[in-house]
Amino acid sequence: MTHDVIVLGAGMVGVSTAIHLVRRGRSVLLIDRRAPGQETSFGNAGIIQREGVRPHPFPRDLATLVQVGLHLSTAARYDPLSLPRFAPALARYWWKSSPESYKAIVKSYAPLIGQSIDAHADFIAAAGAEDLIVKNGWYLAFRTDTVLKAEVRKAQADHDEYGIHYEVVDGAEMAQIEPGLKLRLAGAVHWLDPWTVRDPGALVSAYARLYAGLGGEVATTEIKGVTQDSTGWSVETGAGPYRGREIVIALGPWAQEILDPLGYRLPLFVKRGYHMHYRQPESQPLKNWLLDAEVGYLLAPMQKGVRLTTGAEFAPRDAAPTPIQLGRAERAARGLIDLGERLDPQPWKGARPCTPDMMPIIGAAPKHRGLWVAIGHAHHGFTLGPATGRVLAEVMTGEKPVVDITPFAMERFSGTYPST
């Protein structure tokens, strides 16, 4: 059987793209080696970050660079032996984080983030997943007044330019909001627009059930490669070949295993991250999503318990996990709240797929007809999945996309892969 479209990758981006294509009358097959939402989309902070108009830049201030370089930072860590592999992409990442370049990136990025809540709301209602959603925003908390004031200035600028809503909460108010806090914080920026999710993997699973209910098909099997002929594409898998007139690569940090043999050697790299669940304090449980910004970890009251998520680790995708970052974050978190015992047998580890210019790659591959990509979302794949799926499906079916995807085209990296 030949499908109209085969989507490779069943994370938030792949599932969302598959839904939008099925809704537009396409016959779609979704393929992944694991069930939907069990890889990168499983292990995140569970925030639909409507406020996230500014992707994470490479630090350019000396103090942060020294902290990271000397392994003093909890928010970021790197594997020294892997630096030669990462160096070209990181150098470009640093360059694209310059004030002028970054300003242009934010201008292109913000409209896509602007679609995030509406795109998720559509799926949440259709999937009947409202029980997983909390609409109280989240708190970006600070331990010192100077850093808080600097962040408030940024928040005001985002409000003025992009309509992001926030409130400033002082230390006394924060103690009332979270009475279990053991430290008196300077305060927090309360981002009002975002929604939070009690179980991110379960939300992707709910979207996958929506997709199946619309007539979409799923194959859970290893993806070995793709080939093109005059009638379309063949996907070789552990269960045999599947045929599609078009394919979408939404494989996150595994995308290059398909794209490299096709000649697309993109400057992608990964930021790894960890999470662990802990038992909630019985007397004063954590109520809200809280980012301890000056240390560099986040606490989220999930269905399973309090989820602690770490910052970024620059290391090869499949390298053995390292306990240092999570250990430091856990020690800091135990000083902030009465965090209970660990609930997971071992920390979860995942890899965020990143580009040097902090923007995803969305659209047609320039050298192959019927090859589409939706990769490189870094920290915002969970947030941007439904919006990405919408704009890509619109382009694929000849509609005018709700957001101009020209800035996200693969051609911006054309110098990194050979022309035919």
Q: Residues 282-336: pLDDT tens digits?
A: 889 999 999 999 999 999 999 999 999 999 998 999 999 998 999 999 999 999 9
DSSP strand pairing (290-292 vs 195-197): unpaired
Please report the pLDDT score of residue 61 as a whole number. Answer: 77
* pLDDT tens per residue, range 31-50: 999 999 999 899 999 999 99
Orientation of helix 12-23 relative to helix 381-396, angle to 10°: 30
Please report the pLDDT score of residue 416 as a whole number. Answer: 52
* pLDDT tens per residue, range 76-113: 888 888 888 888 888 899 999 999 999 999 999 999 99
Instruction: Name residue 80's beta-bridge partners.
Output: none
In this structure, the number of other CB atoms found within 10 A of the CB of residue 260 comes to 12
Tokens for 266?
A: 């993109």
Query: If DSSP codes are grouped into helix, strand and coil, which group holds residue 320?
Result: coil
Q: Please report, rounded to a whole number, the percentage of residues in the chain having pLDDT higher than 70.
A: 97
Tell me which residue of 228, 194, 254 sits closest to 369, measured CA to CA.
228
Please report the pLDDT score of residue 49 as a whole number. Answer: 98
**Mean pLDDT, to the nearest integer, of 188-199?**
98
Please report the pLDDT score of residue 183 as a whole number. Answer: 95
DSSP strand pairing (240-249 vs 2-8): parallel
Please report the pLDDT score of residue 68 as a whole number. Answer: 66
CA 416 to chain centre: 24
Please report the pLDDT score of residue 59 as a whole number. Answer: 82
Residues 44 and 379: their CA atoms lie apart, in Å, by 9
CATH of 1-57+97-131+196-267+357-420, one of 1.20.1530.20, 3.50.50.60, 3.40.50.920, 3.40.50.620: 3.50.50.60
Residues 386 and 50: their CA atoms lie apart, in Å, by 13
Task: Kindly report the average pLDDT of the chain as a whole number.
Answer: 94
Q: Is the pLDDT of residue 51 over 50?
A: yes
Write down the H helix ranges in 218-279.
Answer: 256-259
Please report the pLDDT score of residue 160 as a whole number. Answer: 97
Orientation of helix 12-23 relative to helix 116-127, angle to 10°: 70
Instruction: Name residue 30's beta-bridge partners.
Output: 7, 218
Q: What contacts 118, CB < 8 A, 6 or more positions away? A: none
Q: Which region among 82-96, 145-159, 232-246, 265-279 has the lowest average model confidence (pLDDT)? A: 82-96
Please report the pLDDT score of residue 418 as a whole number. Answer: 44
Q: Is the pLDDT of residue 374 over 60?
A: yes
Tokens for 140?
A: 């970006």
Q: Is the pLDDT of residue 64 over 80?
A: no
Measured between its terminal Cα atoms, the distance across the chain in Å is 31
Residue whose structure tokens are 């309360």: 190
Please report the pLDDT score of residue 82 as a whole number. Answer: 81
* pLDDT tens per residue, range 386-403: 999 999 999 999 999 999
Please report the pLDDT score of residue 66 as a whole number. Answer: 64
Q: What contacts 373, CB < 8 A, 6 or more positions away? A: 248, 249, 250, 255, 259, 361, 362, 363, 364, 365, 410
**Domain residue extents for the chain:** 1-57+97-131+196-267+357-420
Q: Is the pLDDT of residue 359 over 60?
A: yes
Q: Is the pLDDT of residue 187 over 50?
A: yes
* pLDDT tens per residue, range 22-31: 999 999 999 9
Please report the pLDDT score of residue 282 as a whole number. Answer: 85
Query: If DSSP codes are grouped into helix, strand and coil, which group holds residue 177?
Result: helix
Please report the pLDDT score of residue 390 as a whole number. Answer: 98
Please report the pLDDT score of residue 417 as a whole number. Answer: 46
Please report the pLDDT score of residue 420 as a whole number. Answer: 33
Max Cα-Cα span within the chain: 67
Please report the pLDDT score of residue 77 as a whole number. Answer: 83
Please report the pLDDT score of residue 87 as a whole number. Answer: 83
